[in-house]
Structure 1
Amino acid sequence: MPNYKLTYFNMRGRGEPIRYIFAYMNAEYEDIRIEPENWPAIKPSIPYGKLPVLEVDGVILHQSLAIGRYLARKAGLSGKTDLDDARIDALLDSIDDFITAFPWSYEVDAEAKKKQDEYLKTAAPPLLAELEKSLGDKQWFVGDSVSLVDFYWDTFSEDLESFHADFAKDYHKLQALKKRVRAIPAIAAWIKRRPITKL
Structure 2
Amino acid sequence: MPHYKLTYFNMRGRAEIIRYIFAYLDKKYEDHRIEQADWPEIKSTLPFGKIPVLEVDGLALHQSLAIARYLTKNTDLAGKTELEQCQVDAVVDTLDDLMSRFPWGEKKQDIKEKMFNELLTHDAPNLLQDLDKYLGEKEWLVGNFVTWADFYWDICSTTLLVFKPDLLDTHPRLVTLQKKVQAIPAIADWIRRRPPTKL
Q: TM-score, normalised by structure 2?
A: 0.94
Shift of 1:180: 0.3
Shift of 1:120: 1.1
Shift of 1:103: 2.4
* Aligned-partner Cα distance in 2 for 1:110–1:8: 27
Asked if structure 1 preserves the Cα contact closer than 8 Å seen for 2:132 and 2:171, the reply is yes
Shift of 1:104: 2.1
Q: 1:120-159 counterparts in 2 under 5 A?
A: 120-159=120-159
Asked if structure 1 preserves the Cα contact closer than 8 Å seen for 2:125 and 2:167, the reply is no
* Aligned-partner Cα distance in 1 for 2:24–2:114: 37
Asked if structure 2 preserves the Cα contact closer than 8 Å seen for 1:25 and 1:75, the reply is no
Match of 1:102 in 2: 102
Amino acid at match of 1:120: L
Q: Number of paired residues?
A: 199
| Identity rate, percent | 54
CA offsets, 1:5-55, max 9 Å, x none? Answer: 111111001111110111101111000111111101100111111111111
Moved >6 Å (runs of 4+)? none
Q: Which runs of 5+ in 2 are unaligned?
A: none
Cα–Cα, structure 1 residues 158 and 107, in superposed 2: closer, same or farther, change >3 Å? farther
Amino acid at match of 1:195: P
* Aligned-partner Cα distance in 1 for 2:121–2:184: 31
Q: TM-score, normalised by structure 1?
A: 0.94
Asked if structure 2 preserves the Cα contact closer than 8 Å seen for 1:104 and 1:116, the reply is no
* Aligned-partner Cα distance in 1 for 2:106–2:168: 21
SS at match of 2:142: coil
- RMSD between aligned alpha carbons? 1.6
* Aligned-partner Cα distance in 2 for 1:108–1:162: 20
* Aligned-partner Cα distance in 2 for 1:74–1:11: 28
Match of 2:43 in 1: 43
SS at match of 1:77: helix
- Point out the more displaced range, 188-197 or 164-173: 164-173
Q: 1:16-165 counterparts in 2 under 5 A?
A: 16-73=16-73, 75-104=75-104, 109-165=109-165
Q: Which runs of 5+ in 1 are unaligned?
A: none
Amino acid at match of 1:148: W
Asked if structure 2 preserves the Cα contact closer than 8 Å seen for 1:72 and 1:147, the reply is no
